[in-house]
Structure 1
């Protein structure tokens, strides 16, 4: 079992570095040790220390839980991504950074495919919009109850690093080779309902509601354009499906050559994830089954697309 874990760790580390880079040189740089000391560890003559494994996990994006868990029968591991930041804003930034790290890792690989089955609008589609992203952050702050939510989104100050992370998240998502969205037919309803609720509590102003409505209509127009064109840009395909089956959560699956991860949405904007091949295959199969019970409205299904867009506009118009 010990040798099996070491071999899998070495194999995973090789997958995480560019093909033209030497593994021993990379580990020597990360661990700040001589190459001979690295080779002794790679040959199994000396064990990696816990601190060394933790550092490699951090620098190379390796899930040690997954490697250890795969050698235990009938066990799979999920990363709950527990937040350790001292404030709601820091926790929020941690979450956004984690999503950014995933997309940074997969975005430039031509084999990358991203699947999301959701009854809520994916944040990656509207993270670059000022008022919609502010509203999402406002809701997170309010739910955590750590600091008073501003009564006006217009006056709400957002750290520049968060604004930049929002924009980069949107850009990175659009650079993936293939993206598939499977949506509930009332995808805008939940967000519109939340906006109304926050307005009724006077946590946002009526002027904020007007701006949010404008951005939702802009987003709907972008979705219409993307669904007709079928791509974000050249060779960056995007497909929209409308599900005939209800699903109770948001399921995401991301894969590229030698890498796959499944994500389940929890605690409003966070998610737990697993790189277990078994879990990833189950997640992929589940999303594929939803596709079979859905209608493709990108580059086809014109009548269904028009009806869907009209229905979403009617929902937005209730603001």
Structure 2
């Protein structure tokens, strides 16, 4: 019973940490909100002293938490949180803002490390080429979610507004600053290519030649990812590689990566984000689920080939296959345009 209470308490603390501005300490927050001494705050953080019912209620109310999400902790039963798309101002800027703010919270956790399985689009990597991000958002909003404001729109060539570009760059820099282990599958970026092909064949590009520019962007993204893999470090396209604090462990799996799963681990906790309903995600701090996710992801990693820094042959094979796929599609588009 004590172990369960401790786990619930730690999950509440972990949820609060993700909401704190940079520099704010959870120990000071507990002192301020619960009107307790520094020593009493540390005892609760260590788990030496459990939160009282009043203290739990106070923290949940202050930080918008539901105790129902934490009060049941059983193997086989998991509480997930998500933001309904209907409650989100769905536009390109707000989409990037949400991703940036989430990365900012992760970056501020002590010892944060991202472990990801990627079955198609390396979402954070595409920030290196903002036009791909803009195309993905447009495709999701118009074709998957069928949002009314996109009904009669075609994807057109236009400049990205400075504010959105700034938010995207900030998100990319945050992602680059978080060490990560990333497992890629054979379908990497091929789904995005099929989306470009669908729009081209359906005449949904306002200017059909713009499809070639998106294809070129995808090639540039592949080139940049390959350089990062060679260095074992993440950095923004166009910059020089940085070799501190941005570790990039890239794995290639030759069988099948089923989904996009993001496991975040830090010194005192872990969380799992799972892509959901195209543009949304589910998140849980359930320790049993996080442990199970880590076990499965590590098995997938162990059945994959490390292609960052070492194993140049496998790395060249992985990126060579991607390059040939893109080249073949580019030739098809060029032939259609000539015709």
* Contact 1:97–1:165 (CA under 8 A) maintained in structure 2: yes
CA contact (8 A) 1:5 1:68 kept: no
1:168-214 deviation digits (Å, cap 9, x = unpaired): 221111001x2111111241211111101011122223222121122
C-alpha distance in structure 2 between counterparts of 1:292 and 1:14, whole Å: 30
Q: 1:140 to 1:14 in 2, by over 3 A?
A: closer
Q: 1:159 to 1:260 in 2, by over 3 A?
A: farther
What is the SS of the residue equivalent to 2:87? coil
In structure 1, what is the equivalent of residue 333 of structure 2?
A: none
- 1-structure distance, mates of 2:216, 2:167: 23
The corresponding residue for 2:71 is 68
For the Cα contact (< 8 Å) 2:11–2:285, is it kept in 1?
A: no
Q: Using the alignment, how far apart are the partners of 1:124 and 1:14 within structure 2?
A: 23
Corresponding residue number in structure 2 for 1:234: 243
Paired residues in the alignment total: 299
**For the structure 1 residues 268 and 74, does the alpha-carbon distance in structure 2 shift closer, same or farther, using more than 3 Å as the test?**
closer
- 2:308 & 2:250 partners in 1: Cα distance? 5
**1:186·1:312 contact (CA, 8 Å) conserved in 2?**
no
Q: What secondary structure, in the 3-state scheme, does the structure 2 residue paired with 1:116 have?
A: strand
CA distance in 2, matches of 1:112, 1:10: 16
Superposed counterparts of 1:31-180, under 5 Å? 35=35, 44=52, 46=54, 53-57=60-64, 64-70=67-73, 74-85=76-87, 88-89=90-91, 96-109=96-109, 111-142=111-142, 143-145=144-146, 146-148=148-150, 150-155=153-158, 161-176=163-178, 178-180=179-181
Runs of 4+ in structure 1 displaced over 6 angstroms?
A: none
CA contact (8 A) 1:66 1:274 kept: no
> 1:47 offset after TM fit, Å?
6.5
* Contact map agreement 1:188 1:316 (CA 8 A) in 2: no
Q: Residue 5 of structure 1 contacts residue 67 of structure 1 at CA under 8 Å; is this kept in 2? A: no
SS in 2 for 1:261: strand
Aligned residues of 1:100 and 1:169 also touching (Cα < 8 A): yes
Give the drift of 1:231: 0.9
- The Cα RMSD (Å) is 3.3
SS at match of 1:311: helix
SS of residue paired to 1:263: strand
Report deviation, 1:120.
0.7
Question: Is 1:276 matched up with 2:279?
Answer: no
Deviations 1:18-75 (A, max 9, x none): 55852345427xxxxxx48xx9xx974856668x624313xxxx674542222x5753
Structure 1 length normalisation: TM-score?
0.80
Counterpart residue number, 2:239: none
Task: State the TM-score, normalizing by the size of structure 2.
Answer: 0.76
Query: Pairwise mapping of residues 216-231 of structure 1 onto structure 2 (< 5 A)?
Result: 216-231=218-233
